[in-house]
Structure 1
Amino acid sequence: MQMKTSDYFSSPPADYNLIVPDGWFQISLDPDERDQSILALVDLQFRGIDNAPHLKKELMRDLQKRAQSAYGIGGTEMYLSLLTVGPVPLASSLLISVPAADEWPVCSDANELAEHLAVRNAGAETELGVTQLEAAGTAVRLRRRDAPDPENQMGNTLPTTTLTYYVPIPATKRWLMLNFSTPVDPLADQMVRLFDAVAGTLHWT
């Protein structure tokens, strides 16, 4: 993907690459392709299962809601993990997004953004700092653990761990966000190590 960037642009950047694990399924956020992409994922998940139409419909509705929400906040790509360890699904997701310029304070660098995020997340269970990505440069890394929200997570009753990288987009005043999430609380540390490894593959083309 190639596109010239500028200080402010109406389209998301297309000049980055990221390597995700085999077993992560990409859902298109394009409204014209979204439903077809979701149907393909649901059919894959329910392959060989013909007696659960209600669960299949519920999953499709949940994915449509998530995809629409992601698109509305500047989402460019969304991945869902289909990985398992034995019978245990390693549920996780990655949303790549570029928030609109007016949704962020004007931050000159990663340290300034980290200070803003520290105030914004005061009192939450977080790890926050400035880090270096091997190919993409300086970034802000925020790990957060939140109480479960069963209504928005298909009945999940475990805390959710999110890991967000905020990476400045070269030659612009905007930030690329990599937002990883997992509800598998007992394996949160292992999942975060995987997320860190994926973020480490980000590079600009």
Structure 2
Amino acid sequence: MTNPSHEDTVTDNPEAPPAPPSDYRIAVPEEWERVVLDPDRWPHRIDKLVNRSLRRTKATPQLKAALADRLRKQAEDAHANGGVEMYLIDQVIGQVPVSAGLVVTVLQPPPDTAAGDLSDIALSLRARGAADDVTMVELPAGPAVRHLYRRRPEPDDPDGNKLAVTHLDVYLAVPRSDQRLLLSFSTPTPPSLEPLADALVTLFDSIARTLQWMA
């Protein structure tokens, strides 16, 4: 989504159709850290996040560097797929570690291809994951596809991942546009913390409901 030019928003034709929204707004808990997915901005932001999250620990420089590298790789992958921003939380609340993230992605249809209906996304997701929970829901920002699933890493995962990850993806149609907005939530889910993951999914749903389109 890009801000419209002056020519896009001012017209002599009073019956011209309204323009698509130029932006969106979403509310997350204040503990969540925002990273704008701009390669010129995220290195400094990620370094600050790592130093802040580990300042009360005895983390070695090697551990800090490894965490920063992992976050940069996450930012690079999200940016390459159309991601515009991500939010992260990594805290210990009481004795319980809480880790979660949200990536906001603008999806463009392939060139010379119609965007299709949201129901087409739902059908495609159902075809790919028989055990996944795929539903059409109504949010304040409009109809959406809700895709809830849990993925366990392969034994030979190249990144060394050993934990299952619970995902909630929410697809919305950008009004009066061929674009789609994808909210991708995720949280690592060891077997002992599956009830916490279920509670976080409830939080993810609440965050998705705060989305507003901006003129």
State the TM-score bracket (shorter-chain normalisation): 0.7 to 0.9
Q: Give the TM-score normalised by the residue count of structure 2.
A: 0.81
Q: What is aligned with 2:79?
A: 71
Asked if 2 retains the 8 angstrom alpha-carbon contact of 1:24 and 1:83, the reply is: no
Asked if 2 retains the 8 angstrom alpha-carbon contact of 1:161 and 1:182, the reply is: yes
1:189 alignment partner, one of 178, 198, 209: 198
Where do residues 166-181 of structure 1 align in structure 2 (5 Å cutoff)?
166-181=171-186
Output the amino acid matched with 2:138: Q
Distance in 2 of aligned mates of 1:96 and 1:111: 20
Q: Which runs of 5+ in 1 are unaligned?
A: 7-12
Is 1:3 matched with 2:8?
Answer: no
Instruction: Tell which deviates more after alignment, 23-32 or 189-198.
Output: 23-32
Distance in 2 of aligned mates of 1:193 and 1:35: 31
Q: How far off is 1:108 after superposition? A: 3.1
- How many residues align? The count is 194
Q: What is aligned with 2:164?
A: 159
Distance in 2 of aligned mates of 1:111 and 1:166: 10
Q: How far off is 1:171 after superposition? A: 1.2
Give the share of equivalent positions with the same residue, in percent.
36
The structure having more radius of gyration, on CA atoms, is 2
Distance in 2 of aligned mates of 1:89 and 1:106: 43
Cα RMSD, aligned residues only: 2.5
Is 1:122 matched with 2:121?
Answer: no
Q: How far off is 1:51 after superposition? A: 5.0
Asked if 2 retains the 8 angstrom alpha-carbon contact of 1:83 and 1:89, the reply is: yes
Q: How far off is 1:92 after superposition? A: 0.5
Output the amino acid matched with 2:204: F
